[in-house]
Structure 1
């Protein structure tokens, strides 16, 4: 675990860079005078670059520690009984985190038998950089506990758009941190779906159960890409359990921005399609899908109703996507 942490912005990387910096400085001082000046200069240049990188890493950690980019949002449970669950939302590129409160509340509303805590961390510049994900997650979980959330292993992650890339990379490295993840207007990267067995069936190289939710009017995570994921994860799946662990569902008429709320930010507006149904209707469907997916992954929960609900939604999705799937197969 300590070695894996070297590759993420945090304490382990800080320790590593500090050790490298000390070694370079000691080496530069030690060899000065009895080796060529060029070698000494290279060591000092290396020490300078390492020191600059160390300063950069420390400043980013301080940013998250003291909320320099803005405070996270914590939503307390709206129901007082049931299993304790935490959901961490990862924002999309350039989308303010308060735009996700209506979606988060829709999930809470749908889960009348769960006590759902929601944390929405604030990334620097509203940009979910993968290497910063651990810092943002640790900070918001700390704030959720300060607000009264008890310790729980029932942690799920929801991510929108580019946030889906960040959380996939993080949970690929630390799968033990999550019971599952929900990708909205996002999808599993093809690197996790590219391996086939001897029968040509998809071997999913990802261990965290994942619900993928797409929109038919999504102009960024387009429905053609959701159809591709549906084929890999459902139709061509090598494991029967993949249907429960990696469901793919499309919401008809949903746009990219409707996985958040309000008017699209400029980055989204340049590519997204025009909505045909209200945000509230899309959020209601997201809430039901997320609730049933969460229930299907909780220990000691009655899973049959949730599995049935998700299977029915996948059947409806297949009917919706069948023309695209047929066209893809015809193209080879």
Structure 2
């Protein structure tokens, strides 16, 4: 799914010359069963993958479906890569080929793998009247398009060992689905988001994969045969559900039951990720890990002191100063946090979804101790706690919060996170302009935090008793555990 800007420009400029040439061909696979309801599935390949590579999957889908199902594999896109300029004509030609070979219904579904799925999503938005639904194989609707408002039924389906279309990106789509269910519970069937255990990005196709896939994809636990059967099962259920009353009631009931189970199974996979993700990205606009870090820093429990946090934009964060309010046994520590994400304007799935760096400002142990009533019991083990220590605690939380399957995968095959000593800064300017060190090699991910710690009594009191960190969010550690660590090489 990854394209550089120059590749996109080249595709668009070059494809213009091919739009009217009929370069894309349709390989039509006639129905293998005689169902009472007729439908067709047109499959758009991923980048640098031939249409023929999807024949084993297409055959399995036809075998699994009770429909009289035609399948069309599109072949011959410019540079063997689907693009929006050729896609419209290719779909029109595919439909014409279906009619020529004897299809009589207008039950047309369009599927796309990887980058093909991105363009299928765009095509469906403006050509809804031509289709009954779209299927996104190891793909998703990009951020500017929402599931709930999409004009067609849409299946988003991927594997939890997809190293190209990250599971952490599919979490976003699943959360969209979850948010829509309170308004329309039937979205569970209209816009299902399905994650299959043990399946990789490449297992939607067959044969030799391009380097863009092999360099990033993860090793599957499911065989290709098992993967095809899983994809076929969910595809069949989605087609039957989307066709509504035009299919026999018993078949539709079974399809809805299958989709309901797929939703439940997917939620089980997603929930640990969602829980940790929402520590940083939540409706309260507070970073829960920054709050936990302050408790670690202070050596106090939640029953002894209240900590609040506010996530601020960059400029506001630069001028913010954590504070201790109240007196005696009624103290509140106000902390501040800022999340910085890797630039990703095109919503490319290989870019990490978690914050690249979590910056947070705390009051130091000394400042908290000085503000507490005499005789308060503090955990003095944290007297010299470092940002490195807090990063290690973030990783520990991420590992403990991961599913048993993900945790075991990491322990068996994952490259570790290696926490390096903090880089110390003496000025706020030096700390503010620094960045966390995230350096990946074949040994693992080397993390170096940036820290600033001031004395309890500085010349200007507003700078006294501070401890600032540029660190790792638990969700970033979790993304490493679930995805990036599982590659043998950087």
Task: State the TM-score, normalizing by the size of structure 1.
Answer: 0.75
Give the conservation status (yes or no) of the 8 Å contact 1:117–1:149: no
Which structure would you say has the larger RCO, counting Cα contacts within 8 Å and 6 or more residues apart?
1
- Name 2:148's counterpart in structure 1: 204
Any idea what SS the aligned residue of 1:61 has?
Answer: coil
Cα drift, residue 305 of structure 1: 1.8
Instruction: Give SS of 2:21's match.
Output: helix
| CA-to-aligned-CA distance 1:274-306 (integer Å, 9 cap, x gap) | 122211100000111010110111132222221
For residue 54 of structure 1, report the CA deviation from its aligned partner.
Answer: 12
Q: Which residue of 2 aligns with 1:307?
A: 256
Deviation at 1:56, TM superposition (A): 7.6
Deviation of 1:162 after TM superposition, in Å, equals 0.4
Shift of 1:152: 1.6
1:56/1:217 Cα in 2 relative to 1: closer, same or farther (>3 Å)? Answer: closer
Q: Deviations over 1:53-94 (max 9, x none)?
A: 99984x423421xx4x6x431111111232111111011011
- Taking a change above 3 Å as real, the CA distance of residues 329 and 129 of structure 1, as seen in their structure-2 partners, is same
Q: Is the 8 A contact 2:64 2:236 kept in 1?
A: yes
Pairing 1:255–2:204 present: no
Which has the larger strand fraction? 2
Displacement after TM superposition at 1:307 (Å): 1.0
**Is the contact between residue 179 and residue 297 of structure 1 (CA under 8 Å) also seen in structure 2?**
yes
Whole-angstrom distance in 2 between the partners of 1:55 and 1:169: 20
Asked if the contact 2:165/2:201 (under 8 Å) is kept, the reply is yes
The runs of at least 4 aligned residues of structure 1 exceeding 3 Å deviation read: 53-57, 235-238
Instruction: Tell me which residue corresponds to 2:190.
Output: 245
Rounded to whole Å, the distance in 1 between the matches of 2:214 and 2:13 is 37
- Structure 1: gaps of 5 or more residues: 1-52, 194-202
CA contact 2:28–2:70 (8 Å) conserved in 1: yes
Q: Which residue of 1 aligns with 2:425?
A: none
Which residue in 1 is equivalent to 2:265?
316
In the alignment, structure 1 residue 328 sits paired with structure 2 residue 277: yes
**Matched length:** 264
Give, in angstroms, the shift of residue 236 of structure 1. 4.8
1:230 to 143, 155, 174: 174
Give the RMSD, CA atoms, in angstroms. 2.0
- Write the distance in 1 (CA, Å) between the matches of 2:116 and 2:14: 26
SS at match of 1:159: strand
Change (3 A) 1:260 1:322: same
Structure 2 Cα separation of the partners of residues 55 and 130 of structure 1 = 12
1:263–1:308: structure 2 CA closer, same or farther, 3 Å change rule? same
Q: Do the aligned residues in 1 keep the contact of 2:37 with 2:246 (CA within 8 Å)? A: no
158-167 vs 230-239, which moves further: 230-239
Q: CA deviation at 1:329?
A: 1.4
In 2, Cα distance between equivalents of 1:62 and 1:182: 26
Q: Which runs of 5+ in 2 are unaligned?
A: 1-11, 282-490
**CA distance in structure 1 between the aligned counterparts of 2:246 and 2:188, rounded to whole angstroms:** 20
Q: Please, which of 3, 18, 21 is the counterpart of residue 60 of structure 1?
A: 18
**Superposed, which structure 2 residues align to 1:140-289 within 5 Å?**
140-146=94-100, 148-193=101-146, 204-237=148-181, 238-289=183-234
Please give the alpha-carbon distance, in whole angstroms, between the structure 2 residues aligned to 1:74 and 1:245: 27
Deviation of 1:261 after TM superposition, in Å, equals: 1.4
| Higher helix proportion (structure 1 or 2) | 1
Q: Which has the larger radius of gyration?
A: 2
**Inter-CA distance 54–191: structure 2 relative to 1 (3 Å threshold):** closer
Q: What is the rounded CA distance, in whole Å, between the counterparts of 1:262 and 1:217 in structure 2?
A: 18
Matches of 1:105 and 1:55, distance apart in 2: 33
Separation in 1, partners of 2:109, 2:69: 10
Q: Normalising to structure 2: TM-score of the pair?
A: 0.52
Does structure 1 retain, via aligned residues, the 8 Å contact 2:41–2:70?
Answer: yes
C-alpha contact 2:15 2:86 (8 A) present in aligned 1: no
TM-fit CA distance, 1:271: 1.1
